[in-house]
Structure 1
Amino acid sequence: APGAYAEEISSFDVDVTIGADTVMDISETIVYDFESAERRGIFRDIPVRDYLDDGSARAYDIDVLSVTRDGSSEPYEIFDEGDYLRVRIGDPDITITGTHDYQIQYTVANGLTQYTQEQVDAIGIAELEPGDVEVYWDFIGGEWEAPIDQARVRVEGPGPILAYECFVGS
């Protein structure tokens, strides 16, 4: 129900640059409004494992490079939560209220699928060739308790985008 959760994410912007080495450099800017609630920070869960249609699992290598709050370095801790890497952001000894801008920078290796001839034939996109890559990534995540008012994802790579689809969860 609208208004049921006092905190909100005003905006969630994700900028992704895919290098020729297929590593994704990701920069997230999250504007989080705690309103009057006293909190120590936020949690960001980043997927480290995804399960494919054939039942196999793909593991991703995540390297968190930096975290800032309102432009200044912010303490963070990383925890292995099975299918996710949990980044606990904030100073455990300081409570904050109001609106804050968080920026999280990290890299993802093994996050792209490189197509084989067999896969290209099955997909049927005329411009697709063996060796082309697919980005299939949950950029925003579904673990947020606070509602997200606006979200934007921008992806840039070393070659043209041949096709795209976007999905939104509940």
Structure 2
Amino acid sequence: MRGRGRARTVALGVLPTIVGLVLLTLLAPPCAAAARSQPGGDGADRADAHPAGADLGPEEFESIPAYDVVLTIATNGDLHVRETITYDFDAGGAHGIVRRLPYRIGDRLYEIRGVRASSSTGAPARPRTRRWWHDLLISVGDEDRAVRGRQAYVIEYTVTGAFTPGDVHDELNWDALGGAWEVPIREAAVRVEAPVVLRKARCRAGTSAAGTPCLRDRDGPYAIEFTQSALRPRESMFITVRLPKGAITVPPPRHAPPHWAVTWAGAGLLALSLAGVAAAARGARAAPIGLEAGPGRSQAVPVERGALLAVLGGALVVADVADEVRAHGAWAVSIGDASMAGVGAAAVGSAVVCLHRFRMRITRRRPGEGNKVGR
């Protein structure tokens, strides 16, 4: 019974460690995805796979005939967005559309609030939001009612933290269409409105901010409209706006800890722990048989300490992971030196218990058989 109890104790200690490592594997930041979804990143090192404006070929079963966006810059630095999306569903219909908005790009955090939706064609337009990885998913529609044909949806929301402050100007880089649509966009227009004269504003269309320049039409000193035709799936329009320093109030950017925040100290501690485990295993196999045959207090105390160390190590991993999750949400996992220390402690504690059980199994055998195994 004591052996089973210790096994359960070790399992409770090791399980959180395994869960932490699995989360680390699943949540390692995908650089390519971050670069693709970055709203207006420079993208100079990426070439567009399909130039914007190229012939789309035959009419697709599903498409977006028109996509109109209005970006209104407020004096407090907020970005008010109004998107009018005309979506042409195929004959089978669907339950609505899903708009993906990045709320985290790399370690930069954006606050998206005030999400509203409506439909001028009478389609169900109740918005539902949920976070998935680094995106906020806005589902517009009704799960119990399918729509067909051409429908128009209006999505409105406000973004805080979209501007990046600089020494001489404040800059907005924004992926106006999202770059996640799996259907072609026939006609797209993005209108930028500012409380001051817009002198530096540009638009690039394609799969990155280094794509094709958009057509532009100035509507007075405070507004500019960009247009682009025949966008392929996953192509977008990247807007860059520079305003003079002090023209609006720009709050400092918010950042989340990186998913992988292990320093050389944490990695070295883990390596030393694993090296200690390997050395202990070799020593246990080479040690003479029979020294641990008596199950007295001297045998139980080290094993119990090993089980406790395994449990404490697993708890340290969970605490390190949960700290950022509690602060920034389920997808804000950050693996740091504390996790590495926890993994190392759990490994050493588990090794103590497992090596003890290994020695005990050998010493219970016949002396001749035990010596044969020991060699």
Q: TM-score, normalised by structure 1?
A: 0.82
How much does 1:74 deviate? 1.6
- Which of 199, 204, 210 is the equivalent residue of 1:162? 199
How much does 1:32 deviate? 0.3
- Which of 142, 149, 160 is the equivalent residue of 1:98? 149
- 2:219 equivalent in structure 1: none
Larger Rg: 2
How much does 1:8 deviate? 0.4
Answering whether residue 163 of structure 2 is matched by residue 108 of structure 1, we say no
- 1:14 equivalent in structure 2: 69
How many residue pairs align between the two structures? 151
Which one-letter code corresponds to 1:150 in the other structure? E
Task: Show the 5 A alignment for 1:23-102.
Answer: 23-51=78-106, 57-70=107-120, 74-102=125-153
- Partner SS for 1:160: coil
Q: Report sequence identity in percent.
A: 32
**1:64 and 1:145 mapped to 2: Cα distance?**
26
**2:176 and 2:100 mapped to 1: Cα distance?**
11
Which one-letter code corresponds to 2:125 in the other structure? E
How much does 1:162 deviate? 2.7
- Which of 166, 172, 175 is the equivalent residue of 1:135? 172
Provide the alpha-carbon RMSD of the alignment: 1.7
**2:166 and 2:158 mapped to 1: Cα distance?**
22
How much does 1:102 deviate? 0.3
**1:58 and 1:92 mapped to 2: Cα distance?**
33
How much does 1:4 deviate? 7.2
Task: List per-residue Cα deviations over 1:39-95 (Å, max 9, x = no partner).
Answer: 0001100111223xxxxx211100143101226672121110122100111100001
Does the Cα contact within 8 Å between 2:121 and 2:151 map onto a contact in 1? no
Change (3 A) 1:114 1:146: same
Change (3 A) 1:2 1:37: farther
- Partner SS for 1:32: strand
**1:48 and 1:149 mapped to 2: Cα distance?**
27
**1:9 and 1:64 mapped to 2: Cα distance?**
25
For CA contacts below 8 A with separation 6 or more, give which structure has more relative contact order: 1
Which one-letter code corresponds to 1:13 in the other structure? D
- Partner SS for 2:133: coil
- Partner SS for 2:82: strand
Which one-letter code corresponds to 2:175 in the other structure? D
**1:142 and 1:169 mapped to 2: Cα distance?**
9
Give 1 or 2: higher helix fraction: 2
**2:125 and 2:87 mapped to 1: Cα distance?**
14
Which one-letter code corresponds to 1:42 in the other structure? I
Structure 1: gaps spanning 5 or more residues: 52-56, 117-129
Q: TM-score, normalised by structure 2?
A: 0.38
Structure 2: gaps spanning 5 or more residues: 1-55, 208-375
- 2:295 equivalent in structure 1: none
